[in-house]
Amino acid sequence: MSVPSIAPRRHRVVIIGSGFGGLFAAKHLKRADVDVTLIAKTTHHLFQPLLYQVATGILSVGEIAPATRMILRKQKNAEVLLGDVVGIDLKNKTVTSKLLDWERVTPFDSLIVAAGAQQSYFGNDHFEAFAPGMKTVDDALELRGRILGAFEAAEVTTSQAERQRRLTFVVVGAGPTGVEVVGQIAELAHRTLEGAFRTIDPSEARVILIEAAPAVLPPMGPKLGLKAQRRLEKMGVEVRLNTMVTNVDYMGLTVKEKDGTEHRIDCACKVWSAGVQASPLGRILAEQSDGTECDRAGRVVVEPDLTVKGHPHVFVVGDLMNVPGVPGQAQGAIQGAVYATKQIKADLKSDAPATRQPFKYFDKGSMATISRFNAVCQVGKLEFGGFLAWLAWLGLHLYYLVGSRNRLIAVISWFVTFLGRGRGQMAITERWVFARRAMDQVQERNNTPKAIG
Amino acid sequence: MSVPSIAPRRHRVVIIGSGFGGLFAAKHLKRADVDVTLIAKTTHHLFQPLLYQVATGILSVGEIAPATRMILRKQKNAEVLLGDVVGIDLKNKTVTSKLLDWERVTPFDSLIVAAGAQQSYFGNDHFEAFAPGMKTVDDALELRGRILGAFEAAEVTTSQAERQRRLTFVVVGAGPTGVEVVGQIAELAHRTLEGAFRTIDPSEARVILIEAAPAVLPPMGPKLGLKAQRRLEKMGVEVRLNTMVTNVDYMGLTVKEKDGTEHRIDCACKVWSAGVQASPLGRILAEQSDGTECDRAGRVVVEPDLTVKGHPHVFVVGDLMNVPGVPGQAQGAIQGAVYATKQIKADLKSDAPATRQPFKYFDKGSMATISRFNAVCQVGKLEFGGFLAWLAWLGLHLYYLVGSRNRLIAVISWFVTFLGRGRGQMAITERWVFARRAMDQVQERNNTPKAIG
């Protein structure tokens, strides 16, 4: 049942999404004479850059996913609603959200769409059951089960071939997330799990990083890419560049080298971090605009002021926007959100629509950790790696984590993990078992072989 | 495929379960001349007494569920295997474990069965989808979603009746777990969530505790029970004693007072902590014994030395054993496990089977927290409540938490929660949504009404 809402008394800004874009947009409207409604399909703000640490047992979900409602509790002009936005009506200025049997229509005067992106399999959606991505806390918990569970599965089997398959880990895609997760799998195998098993030697695990491009961390340039690659190789990671994944199934994956030869890699645990697909809300917006289009990844090719054509009050920010030169990272989302709120505030102050300066992205640089005490960092023309870059990573991530409690606990967890070798969050939930069952079902449909024993 | 194992060279003790019984049994065999195989269906040791704090957003899963393998890593005579034990063959002395497509047969010389108990619905298994229990980390994460999600659901509805239903919380069973979880729901409603919503006032939530017996915390005696009840009532909890639950469905539950009158309570979030059902392994053991029986809850009525009749090398400890006067708590499990390991070690030292002194339980007392700074505590004839009891609770639980990191983080979390009002683990996983869908399915089968809007 759709619930009609009462018309807002003040200018109402509706924000879709609670990621960096959505949260910063809400916060930057704190002192504005507007009512803010933030609608998101999770109750938390996800600090996505540290999701790989949840997947590899270092951090708990709570540390990187504080409740959005609690962050905004003291901002009296903001309300937070749980719901999955399924419709936007630009003509009638309403947003329709759903969750289970609740449905709600929320009217807006201005709209900021920060709905983000999901994993993309480039049309091969059947890969997903076997090689999940890492975009949500549930993804991370499932991956934790798959990674740690692979070692457990290797310990119980008596077949040598099957043991080797279970001890082979493949990460597809050498962007920051791929590099970080593959580095942590290598650290688990070589440091954390040392001496924890009786039948297998975890350090005999094969950890493979596959990338279609000719370099690791392609957007960071060849120099840092090579630095990262050398460091990963030193940690025991096999880096396979110029390599495409042509199939993924229960038993492993098929890859194609640049010269056209195809190989099989038998492996149990696969992680997909090779591409993103923007939220379907992008196309919903584009269809109703006066000519705005979406790119192949579903991102909205916005106007210079981040709006959709013909709707100067409808902004698209974050991973859902396509602005040349702006990477799909936290900084782009935050800057886009702050820009959008400034335009809304400026419009409210003038009778006539203000002339807008186009959005300009200020590149603060980018970074990726590779292992403990080691990262690569690029700020403008400055490129550096190693311990110094790792310290920069540490400081920056602590700064952006929400809440002093979360900062303190993250520091303790990192201390324990990087100086010692303990990981406090190795508990596996049942979700991993559900995921295994889903794999079995896909496999049965495809009628392809499955390991036993 | 079943995998034949090689016969053990040394006396092999197989332990089933990684709870207090299983873990302490393994640890107490550290210096014994035996090989230890611990088989459990989770990879963690669960500190069940604090599970309610995971369900109510205070602690993360990792703090109360360290990996069993990591705890025992340095104990060279112990191996840990992940698997769900589905069969025990007392004649051939083997244990069969399964997980997904792995199956394994492990031979034993001595066996310690510490497989614990699950929630019991006293034959009304259809209650479970609507009123889950709290026995596993997955249960706790699901309950976290149901509890916090009920407030979210109340915020989005526009129906006053439905809002009230979503703001009504019922906990069935006033044992320690029931009292602790109901107390924390009241704290969430009255303290933690204050000011976090715009439409609802969380403090208007109805929080109800239902108990069939005439007192709260029945085993702790009338004096402490009354103390706990008064404290709960002061926190805004409605305590309804002498009340039986006769039905549970999507919309709420039906209760029957002592005088036979039946009432409906409309409520969205129900928690079941009214009874336990022992692991099915109990009956498997009893069937193969020379006359050992199970009680109604499926617990094994063991011999005075905690063994099953005719099998002096097969011990049952923890929640699966029925020994008069021993409560189903951590202390009983630990003492039973230590006793069993002592008998095994004594047998190994003598050629003839040693004469065994019967197991004697030493009651160290019991306790339950009610709210921050308030608990009830009973040690022998000594009964006390209030702040002193809470300090005793604090010290004891810190002492038994495994790992200094977990202790430190628990202290920080408690500091933040009890002195401040922050809760660091309010993130909800998708499991809650799956649970809602499961409820919908049961409801459709039963063709009973469901709230909308």
Site from A6, A54, A101, A103 to mutate, B interface, most B CB atoms within 10 angstroms = A101
CA distance A63 to chain B (A): 7
Across the range A47-62, mean pLDDT stands at 96
CB contact under 8 A, A424 and B141: no
pLDDT at A219 over 90: no
Are the C-beta atoms of residues A413 and A216 closer than 8 Å to each other? Answer: no
Quote the Cα angle for A18-A22-A26, to 5°.
Answer: 110
Q: Which residues of B touch A81 (CB under 8 A)?
A: 155-156
CB contact under 8 A, A101 and B156: no
Facing residue for A155 by CB, picked from B44, B81, B157: B81
pLDDT band at B441 (very low <50, low <70, confident <90, very high): confident
pLDDT at A80 over 90: yes
Closest residue, chain B, to A408 (C-alpha): B412
Task: Note whether B159 and B255 are same-domain residues.
Answer: yes
Task: Note whether B270 and B331 are same-domain residues.
Answer: no
Tokens representing residue A76 in the block: 């009296």
CB contact under 8 A, B425 and A61: yes
Rounded CA-CA distance A358/A304 in Å is 5
β-strand pairing of A321-322 with A117-119: unpaired
Q: Which residues of A touch B136 (CB under 8 A)?
A: 430
Summarised one tens digit per residue, pLDDT across range B25-41 is 999 999 999 999 999 99
Closest residue, chain A, to B138 (C-alpha): A429
Indicate the pTM of the whole model: 0.94
Q: Which residues of B touch A436 (CB under 8 A)?
A: 100
**Nearest CA among A372, A151, A275 for reference residue B69:** A151
pLDDT at A7 over 60: no
CB contact under 8 A, B431 and A433: no
Task: Note whether A100 and A197 are same-domain residues.
Answer: no
Q: Which residues of A touch B143 (CB under 8 A)?
A: none
B451 is a domain residue: no
Classify burial at A157, counting beta carbons within 10 Å of its beta carbon; exposed 0-12, middle 13-18, buried 19 or more. buried
**Nearest CA among A429, A241, A353, A93 for reference residue B139:** A429
Q: Residue B383 — φ and ψ, nearest 5°?
A: -130, 125
pLDDT band at A1 (very low <50, low <70, confident <90, very high): very low
Q: Which residues of A touch B433 (CB under 8 A)?
A: 99-100
CB contact under 8 A, B416 and A431: no
Place of tokens 């039948």: A199
Task: Note whether B381 and B265 are same-domain residues.
Answer: yes
Closest residue, chain A, to B420 (C-alpha): A405
Closest residue, chain B, to A416 (C-alpha): B405
Domain boundary among A347, A378, A406: A347
Facing residue for B100 by CB, picked from A57, A406, A433: A433
Tell me the catalytic residues of A. Answer: 180
CA distance B84 to chain A (A): 12
State the CATH number of the domain containing residue A289.
3.50.50.60
CA distance B142 to chain A (A): 11
pLDDT band at B452 (very low <50, low <70, confident <90, very high): very low
pLDDT band at A42 (very low <50, low <70, confident <90, very high): very high
What is the H or E stretch that residue A366 is in?
strand A366-371
Site from B54, B191, B430 to mutate, A interface, most A CB atoms within 10 angstroms = B430
A266 is a domain residue: yes
Task: Collapse the DSSP code of A349 into the 3-class scheme (helix H, G, I; strand E, B; otherwise coil) and give the result.
Answer: helix
CA distance B260 to chain A (A): 35
The overall average pLDDT reported for chain A is 92
Task: Note whether B257 and B319 are same-domain residues.
Answer: no
Summarised one tens digit per residue, pLDDT across range B226-264 is 999 999 999 999 999 999 999 999 999 999 999 999 999
pLDDT at A118 over 80: yes
Structural domain for B186, as ranges: 125-274+365-437
Rounded CA-CA distance A414/A436 in Å is 30
Catalytic residue among B180, B187, B211, B303: B180
Site from A70, A138, A201 to mutate, B interface, most B CB atoms within 10 angstroms = A70
Summarised one tens digit per residue, pLDDT across range A284-335 is 999 999 999 999 999 999 999 999 999 999 999 999 999 999 988 999 999 9
CA distance B58 to chain A (A): 10
Facing residue for B431 by CB, picked from A73, A416, A431: A431
Summarised one tens digit per residue, pLDDT across range A188-216 is 999 999 999 999 999 999 999 999 999 99
Facing residue for A453 by CB, picked from B3, B416, B440: B3
Task: Note whether B48 and B75 are same-domain residues.
Answer: yes
Closest residue, chain B, to A438 (C-alpha): B100
Summarised one tens digit per residue, pLDDT across range B295-318 is 999 999 999 999 999 999 999 999
Number of domains within chain B: 2
Place of tokens 């630095």: A227
Closest residue, chain B, to A72 (C-alpha): B196
A34 is a domain residue: yes
State the CATH number of the domain containing residue A268.
3.50.50.100
Summarised one tens digit per residue, pLDDT across range B344-369 is 999 998 877 678 999 999 998 889 99
pLDDT band at B1 (very low <50, low <70, confident <90, very high): very low
CB contact under 8 A, B43 and A409: no
Task: Note whether A299 and A314 are same-domain residues.
Answer: yes
Task: Note whether A16 and A163 are same-domain residues.
Answer: no
ipTM of the complex: 0.93
Task: Note whether A260 and A213 are same-domain residues.
Answer: yes
Summarised one tens digit per residue, pLDDT across range B320-341 is 999 999 988 999 999 999 999 9
pLDDT at B101 over 80: no
**Nearest CA among A137, A144, A189 for reference residue A432:** A144
Rounded CA-CA distance B26/B37 in Å is 8
Rounded CA-CA distance A110/B61 in Å is 40
Q: Which residues of B touch A56 (CB under 8 A)?
A: none
CB contact under 8 A, B101 and A405: no
Task: Note whether A252 and A390 are same-domain residues.
Answer: yes
B236 is a domain residue: yes
Are the C-beta atoms of residues A153 and B83 closer than 8 Å to each other? Answer: no
What is the predicted pLDDT for the residue at A351?
77
B5 is a domain residue: no
Task: Collapse the DSSP code of B225 into the 3-class scheme (helix H, G, I; strand E, B; otherwise coil) and give the result.
Answer: helix
What is the H or E stretch that residue B84 is in?
strand B84-89
B453 is a domain residue: no
The alpha-helical segments, DSSP class H, found in B257-327 are: 281-288
Are the C-beta atoms of residues B453 and A1 closer than 8 Å to each other? Answer: yes
Task: Note whether A237 and A108 are same-domain residues.
Answer: no
pLDDT band at A440 (very low <50, low <70, confident <90, very high): confident
Rounded CA-CA distance B376/A74 in Å is 35
CB contact under 8 A, A79 and B198: yes
Strand segments (E) across A218-348: 237-240, 244-248, 252-256, 262-266, 269-272, 276-278, 300-301, 307-308, 311-316, 321-322
Task: Note whether B216 and B266 are same-domain residues.
Answer: yes
B329 is a domain residue: yes
A291 is a domain residue: yes
CA distance A14 to chain B (A): 15
